[in-house]
Amino acid sequence: MPLIVLDGIGKRYDLGEIAVDALRNVSLAIEPGESVAIMGASGSGKSTLLGLLGCLDAPTIGSFRLSGEEVGRMSSSRLADVRCRKIGFVFQGFNLLPRLTAIENVELPLAYAEEPAHGRRNKAGAMLKRVGLADRMNHFPSQLSGGQQQRVAIARALVNSPDLILADEPTGALDSSTGREILELLCTINGEGTALVIVTHDPGVASAMRRTLTLKDGNIESDSRFLESADVSESAELSQGGQPHLQVVPRP
């Protein structure tokens, strides 16, 4: 079963006199464990799409199913639970709470998920080790470099074992070598089976994903998959898959 199915999704922001159609008739499916880059000019709808995928916002029209469950029919408590347990968020600006230490930041989603207090510290500590910060657990965000703060944010995103990580320009505030390390960490996590959707302006980041969606004026302009090899039969199968925007691009 696909992890995500969007069918005819539209998102309109109504600003009194004018209405902005940030997404128009977007249909797509994302499989468990996929890696997807979302690209497109500023204002093309990337953050709006990511916010919908993260159940932070609701579409104006269309159907959004997450693991087969229609999101629009979930109660608000069910939605909060899904956001907390199924989805991890990583932002360009890290979004850590400044008055909490690294380990306390990572513990927060466990507290929201009503994990018993005694287990939280262990799980959060293990996750910080996992991202290479075993020796920074009691530092405050202001005492950490940008790359370290993003590692804390990734540990926080992962601590409830989500099915999906959503990242909005996660390397945008980092120098290129730190950005590369963060990208490698996200790719490792994806390689272990967590789906990854990443908004980026950076073609280098996009090329590390198996699939790139390009948005233009709220529409999917292209949807390209990088195949391990340019296997003709596989290409033929994909292009008959009924997705009108699908292009098959062999990995260089």
- Binding-residue pattern over the window 29 to 68 for Mg ion, x denoting contact by CB under 5 A: -----------------xx---------------------
The CB-of-132 to ligand ADP minimum distance in angstroms stands at 30
Q: Which of 82, 95, 111, 89 is nearest to 157 (CA)?
A: 89
- Partner in contact with 40, chosen from ligand ADP, Mg ion, none, beta carbon below 5 to 8 Å by kind: ligand ADP
- Partner in contact with 22, chosen from Mg ion, ligand ADP, none, beta carbon below 5 to 8 Å by kind: ligand ADP
Binding site residues, ligand ADP, CB under 6 A: 13, 15, 20, 22, 40, 42-48
Burial 85-106 (b: 16+ CB within 10 A, else e): ebbbbbbbebebeeeebbbbbb
C-alpha distances in Å from residue 51, one per residue of 2, 94, 133, 141, 199: 19, 16, 29, 25, 11
- Partner in contact with 36, chosen from Mg ion, ligand ADP, none, beta carbon below 5 to 8 Å by kind: none
The CB-of-172 to Mg ion minimum distance in angstroms stands at 10
Plot region of 117 (φ>0 → left; ψ -120 to 50 → alpha; else → beta)? alpha
The CB-of-26 to Mg ion minimum distance in angstroms stands at 15
The CB-of-7 to ligand ADP minimum distance in angstroms stands at 19
Q: What are the φ and ψ backbone dihedral angles of 213, each rounded to 5 degrees?
A: -100, 130
The footprint of Mg ion (CB under 5 A) covers 46-47
